[in-house]
Amino acid sequence: MSKRKNETVPYTLVIHGGAGTISKARQNEALEKEYKKALREALQKGGEVLKKGGSALSAVRVAVRTMEDCPLFNAGRGAVFNFQGGHDLDASIMDGKTLKAGAVANIRNVKNPVELAYIIMKKSQYVLLSGADALDYALENGLKIEDSQYFRTEMRYQQWLKARGSDHMFLDHDTPVDDKKFGTVGAVARDKRGNLAAATSTGGLVNKRYGRIGDSPIIGAGTYANNHTCAVSCTGKGEFFIRLVVAHEISSIMEHGGKSLAEACEIVFKQRLQTLGGKGGVIALDKNGEVVTLFNTKGMYRGIKKEGERDKIFIFDQ
């Protein structure tokens, strides 16, 4: 879609809260309402930014930060436990207009990892920082720090107890505790000026060890945005998304193969990822405002806000 200078386009925001073994049969009405309320809040807050003429970059920051603050999701406050009983957090953000990006991996105690990713993008000469030194950078830039108890939820603790002492790692959705399954969070947006952005945040795999890093903080694997093509955020077993560079590959097929967003997602996600054995989901938004949400699990928490339309919240249906 070409547009004249100062002409605006309808804004769009798409979010996800993870994909996994979400059983419709085991889902009760109260729990479903809890999920949808959290997704709706993130949509509303991110959408308000876009409604007021704010940037896609700001909208995905706000939407992801809202989900990081919610203990239901495997990101920020609700992050899963690692092998040592701590919380290692990952996040990334990318601006489709400039192709600038920021990311953080294996960070601890930062309340909102997506904010640290944003600061890295805006203020540093780097793209990806990790570990204790990244925490020093967060402190230098005045980001909110919380003690370990802030990130401890009983559901996550019980989840970790099931895996403690073993080498077994799993997605937080794959071992339900009291029917609760939550996941990695992400957002993609197009603002009124037609700019795209994407952001993703996660606590990774339950019981992960050896400094394991998934796709969420890796630009091109779990997060990517380019104004010429699309914005993408992924969720699932990150090793598969890294090996296929899923987020960038969708953009590349659009740019160099002349495919639509739906066709590119079909090729990368359904043909390549599934053939490799990967499980998870993807949300994507192209420069024309077209939306794709795909998953090959039983469900994926997701929401869509389009200017002039009613908000849509989904869990099970494609």
Catalytic residue (one of 66, 184, 229, 235): 184
Rounded-to-integer distance, Cα 85 and Cα 156, Å: 10
Q: Which amino acid is at 53?
A: G
167 DSSP assignment: S
**Neighbouring residues of 127: CB distance < 8 A, sequence distance ≥ 6:** 101, 102, 103, 120, 121, 219
**Is 175 labeled as catalytic in the residue annotation?**
no
- Answer whether 141's CB lies under 8 Å from 84's CB: no
**Neighbouring residues of 217: CB distance < 8 A, sequence distance ≥ 6:** 90, 91, 92, 103, 104, 105, 117, 128, 200, 223
Mode of pairing for the β-strands spanning 101-107 and 89-95: antiparallel
Range 30-65 burial, b when 16+ CB lie within 10 A, else e: eeeeebeebbbbbbbbbbebbeeebbbbbbbbbbbb
Tokens of 137: 């950078």
Rounded-to-integer distance, Cα 184 and Cα 91, Å: 10
Residues identified as active-site = 184
